């Protein structure tokens, strides 16, 4: 039990345990071993977290923005200093290879804390001249916000939500996914070390019912969810009941378009990154790869060659590029999609099986898969698989591919690869997606808004856009003349 935390929850600056809650085993996906056991939050724990957050929020909002920003920036520094330890936890919790977690998880969380710490002192209102009288606006916190996370980027998701929320003067209660509860506890601890008041970020563990209890509590002003579309519908509905603010970061089935003038090796690199990174468990993945018919054969030949040389294995070995899926259930679901792809007539060019890795026989590994001959009506082209399964589709002209790319309920992301910038900009202007990439894929710097349209959600994380999502504007009219009253 190498990763057993001191207690399941972190509330009011301290680890908190209540063993009467439902036990949750934390499994290392590479071996199937239980590395920790925690307990789902009871009503007592949830109340404790809420009361403490209400207190902390009042204290925090009264601090100067410069001081608040300094705390966030200090937390970013501590995260970077502790990156290896945090990455090892994340690798054990998610199964993602250390090669990835060392650069993409806590580091991305630290970027968010640094970015929002930097802009905290600039968050403010405006003055409106009214010819004598004037008005001004104040940008005020919402109060206690709830963050609910998915399991694919646990510490990144917690940081992306906490950093802008705290920058605006809110407190946050974060509920990690029940599959990956460990790293958010560390973030809460780091904020205390950085000088945040006890209770500013409380972490409570649990299944969906704990998320639901937090979402409906009258003390909660806002809910930000990263999760699937069905969960999004439920959380949105219960937040609507209490007229709470919401941000929804949901699923996707994003298109990645490779025009015939693209640098093929670069486009293949982008497509592999956008399908196989984190063993394909990324919401914005470009899982529908539309390749122009003129370059299709060459593209597929090199794609298969490069896929064959991906190193799968021990996630703690930094040379390993692909780890297991997060759980046995997730692998089963993905393998089901591979079967459906074959049954519905797509050609499986490579992968889709279970690799044999010595010493890791009980892990949830899967070989990255590439399907060709995929058509728009096939299940694998329509549903989010959330695993390393790439579908290659052919196209002939620009209008056709844009229409097909947009023909989905989702709208999280999209990518285009072309040497012609006019064509690229025209294409992205027509793509129905919240986040687009030109000649690259899946880069999400803290300064760029990230989020989806249509069923992929709304509201944006990162950048100044996130400040709008965690604050509200108060208008103040200042009368300088006697009241012009008709009475």
Pick from 137, 228, 266, 472 the residue near ligand NAD by CB under 6 A.
Answer: 228
Can 332 be counted among the known catalytic residues? no
Window 282 to 341, contacts with ligand NAD (CB under 6 A): 283
Window 376 to 435, contacts with ligand NAD (CB under 6 A): 384, 386, 412
**How is residue 465 written in tokens?**
């856009």
3 state SS of 485:
coil
**How is residue 128 written in tokens?**
């409106």
**How is residue 346 written in tokens?**
């797509």
Can 234 be counted among the known catalytic residues? no
Pick from 109, 149, 313, 387 the residue near ligand NAD by CB under 6 A.
Answer: 149
Candidates 78-86, 106-114, 149-157, 424-432; binding stretch for ligand NAD (CB under 6 A): 149-157
Question: Measured from the CB of residue 386, what is the shortest distance to ligand NAD in angstroms?
Answer: 5
Residue corresponding to tokens 């997060």: 326
Q: What is the 3-state secondary structure (H, E, C) of 63-131?
A: CCHHHHHHHHHHHHHHHHHCHHHHHHHHHHHHCCCHHHHHHHCHHHHHHHHHHHHHHHHHCCCCEEECC
Question: Measured from the CB of residue 183, what is the shortest distance to ligand NAD in angstroms?
Answer: 14
Candidates 92-100, 165-173, 226-234, 301-309; binding stretch for ligand NAD (CB under 6 A): 226-234
Question: Measured from the CB of residue 301, what is the shortest distance to ligand NAD in angstroms?
Answer: 30
Candidates 52-60, 72-80, 250-258, 418-426; binding stretch for ligand NAD (CB under 6 A): 250-258
d(CA 25, CA 289): 37
The single-letter DSSP state of residue 169 is T
Pick from 144, 165, 167, 250 the residue near ligand NAD by CB under 6 A.
Answer: 250
d(CA 268, CA 131): 60
d(CA 182, CA 178): 9
Q: Given CA atoms 105, 286, 274, 464 in this order, what sign does their dihedral have? A: negative
Per rule CB under 6 A, count of chain residues that contact ligand NAD:
29
3 state SS of 417:
strand
Can 461 be counted among the known catalytic residues? yes
β-sheet with 14-16: strand ranges across: 14-16, 9-11, 201-203, 171-175, 144-148, 220-226, 245-249, 457-458
Q: What character string, x for contact with ligand NAD (CB under 6 A) and - otherwise, covers 159-178?
A: ----------------x-xx
**How is residue 341 written in tokens?**
């792809």
Please report whether residue 449 would count as binding ligand NAD according to CB under 6 A: no
Contact criterion met (CB below 8 Å) for 367 and 356: no
Please report whether residue 249 would count as binding ligand NAD according to CB under 6 A: yes
Please report whether residue 183 would count as binding ligand NAD according to CB under 6 A: no
Can 2 be counted among the known catalytic residues? no
Tell me which residues touch ligand NAD (CB under 6 A): 148-152, 175, 177-178, 207-208, 211-212, 215, 226-228, 231, 234-235, 249-252, 283, 384, 386, 412, 452, 457
Catalytic residues: 161, 249, 283, 461
């Amino acid at each position: 039990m190498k990763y057993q935390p001191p207690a399941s929850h972190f509330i009011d600056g301290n680890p908190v345990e209540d063993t009467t809650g439902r036990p949750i085993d934390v499994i290392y996906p590479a071996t199937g071993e239980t590395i920790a056991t925690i307990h789902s939050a009871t009503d007592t724990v949830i109340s404790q977290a809420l009361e403490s957050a209400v207190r902390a929020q009042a204290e925090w909002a009264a601090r100067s923005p410069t001081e608040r920003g300094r705390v966030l920036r200090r937390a970013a520094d501590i995260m970077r200093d502790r990156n290896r330890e945090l990455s090892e936890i994340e690798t054990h919790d998610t199964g993602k290879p250390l090669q990835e977690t060392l650069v993409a998880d806590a580091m991305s969380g630290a970027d968010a804390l640094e970015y929002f710490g930097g802009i905290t002192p600039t968050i403010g209102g405006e003055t409106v001249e009214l010819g004598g009288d004037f008005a001004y606006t104040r940008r005020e916190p919402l109060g206690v916000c709830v963050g609910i996370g998915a399991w694919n980027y646990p510490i990144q998701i917690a940081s992306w939500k906490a950093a802008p929320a705290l920058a605006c003067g809110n407190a946050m209660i974060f509920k990690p996914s029940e599959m990956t509860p460990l790293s958010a506890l560390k973030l809460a601890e780091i904020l205390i070390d950085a000088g945040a008041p006890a209770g500013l970020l409380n972490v409570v563990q649990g299944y969906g019912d704990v998320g639901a209890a937090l979402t409906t509590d009258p003390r909660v002003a806002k809910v930000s969810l990263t999760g699937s579309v069905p969960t999004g519908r439920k959380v949105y509905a219960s937040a609507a009941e209490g007229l709470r603010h919401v941000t929804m970061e949901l699923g996707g089935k994003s298109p990645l378009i490779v025009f015939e003038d693209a640098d093929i090796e670069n486009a293949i690199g982008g497509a592999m990154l956008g399908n196989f990174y984190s063993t394909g468990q990324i919401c914005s993945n470009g899982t529908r790869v539309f390749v122009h018919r003129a370059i299709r054969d060459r593209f597929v030949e090199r794609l298969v060659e490069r896929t064959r040389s991906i190193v799968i294995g021990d996630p703690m070995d930094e040379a390993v590029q692909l780890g297991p899926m997060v759980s046995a259930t997730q692998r089963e679901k993905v393998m089901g999609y591979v079967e459906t792809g074959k049954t519905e007539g797509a050609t499986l060019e490579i992968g889709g099986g279970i690799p044999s890795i010595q010493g890791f026989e009980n892990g949830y590994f899967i070989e990255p898969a590439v399907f060709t001959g995929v058509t728009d009506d096939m299940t694998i082209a329509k549903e989010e698989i959330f695993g390393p399964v790439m579908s290659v589709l052919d196209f002939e002209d620009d209008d056709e591919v844009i229409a097909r790319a947009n023909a989905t309920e989702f709208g999280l992301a999209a990518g285009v690869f072309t040497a012609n910038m006019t064509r690229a900009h025209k294409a992205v202007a027509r793509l129905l997606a919240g986040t687009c990439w030109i000649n690259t894929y899946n880069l999400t710097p803290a300064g760029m808004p990230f989020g989806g349209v249509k069923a992929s959600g709304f509201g944006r994380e990162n950048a100044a856009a996130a400040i709008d999502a965690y604050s509200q504007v108060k208008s103040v009219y200042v009368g300088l003349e006697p009241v012009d009253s008709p009475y």
